[in-house]
Amino acid sequence: MIKVENLDVVYGSKDKSNHVVRGVSFAVSRGEALGIVGESGCGKSTVLRSLAGLEGAWTGSISFDGKPVGKVRTRDELKLAQMVFQDPYGSLHPRHRIGTALAEPIRSMGAGDGWTRVAEALQQVGLPAHFAGRFPHELSGGQRQRVAIARALILSPPILLLDEPTSALDVSIQAEVLNLLADQREERNLTFILVSHDLSVISHMCDRVLVMQNGVFVDELTKADLQAGVTHASYSHELFDASFL
């Protein structure tokens, strides 16, 4: 479903350049959930942003569903992958009602005004349809993140890119959002890439985990490895140690 080869991202130029992602390659098959874990600044979010088409400075090749995509995406390419961001307080326009926010992707894809699908989209993520008339500040953090998920799913993309979807939420609310994501994945046969620094969330959601450090992958762990606590690199061992006190 997703194939990335030699992805390289450099910010700045010449002596001030910052090599964030250093030639990473990976593939994700349809319906699989891949996790990328690492500390801040290791380049994990940049990989995700390049996949979503938000990053302009990458080299290498990215292909969705066998078709290579470029830096500037067509509408059809954008419909393939949608993203959910970390902070539900920052990712919703404070002066747009929830309904407007949900209809926006449909309008920007030129597929009608989108209003007819708002109620259904809200119900799918477990929110009442009358929330369409509310503003983001009238919702709790967990409800906002549900709206962000509904907005990503409204175009029915086969791929969902999740950037720390629950790190701004309480443990109890995190469980609800993770369950919602797992249900939607099963229902729609979605392909996930989940980026997080929380190994327990990653190992709950993902079939395979890549450990990233300084722009390269240093380790790959399967679900069985995570359960048994097996690691193949000293860095992932450290990360394991720190995550489970």
Contacts to other proteins by CB under 8 A? 39-40, 141, 170-176, 178-179, 182, 197-201, 203-205, 223, 226-227, 229, 238-239, 241-245
- Of 65 and 225, which CB lies nearer to other proteins in the complex structure? 225
Residue of 183, 209, 175, 179 lying closest to 194 (CA atoms): 209
Question: Cβ closer to other proteins: 72 or 171?
Answer: 171
In angstroms, give the least distance from the CB of 94 to other proteins.
20
Token pair 């939607």 is at which residue?
Answer: 184
Least Å distance, CB 79 to other proteins, is 29
Other beta carbons less than 10 A from residue 133's beta carbon: 11
Type and span of the H or E element at 184: helix 171-188
Q: Which is nearer to other proteins, 72 or 224 (CB)?
A: 224
- Residues 52 and 7: their CA atoms lie apart, in Å, by 13
State in angstroms the smallest separation of the CB of 241 from other proteins. Answer: 7
**Secondary structure element (H or E) that encloses residue 5, with its range:** strand 2-11
Which amino acid, residue 66?
A: G
* Beta carbons of 3 and 177 less than 8 angstroms apart: no
Q: What would the two tokens of residue 87 be?
A: 């902070």
For residue 242, the minimal CB distance to other proteins (Å) is 5
Residues in the chain, overall count: 245
Q: Residue 90 in contact with residue 164, Cβ under 8 Å?
A: no
Structure tokens at 47: 């990989």
Q: Which is nearer to other proteins, 72 or 245 (CB)?
A: 245
Least distance between other proteins and beta carbon 209 (Å): 10
Residue closer to other proteins by CB (options 51, 181) is 181
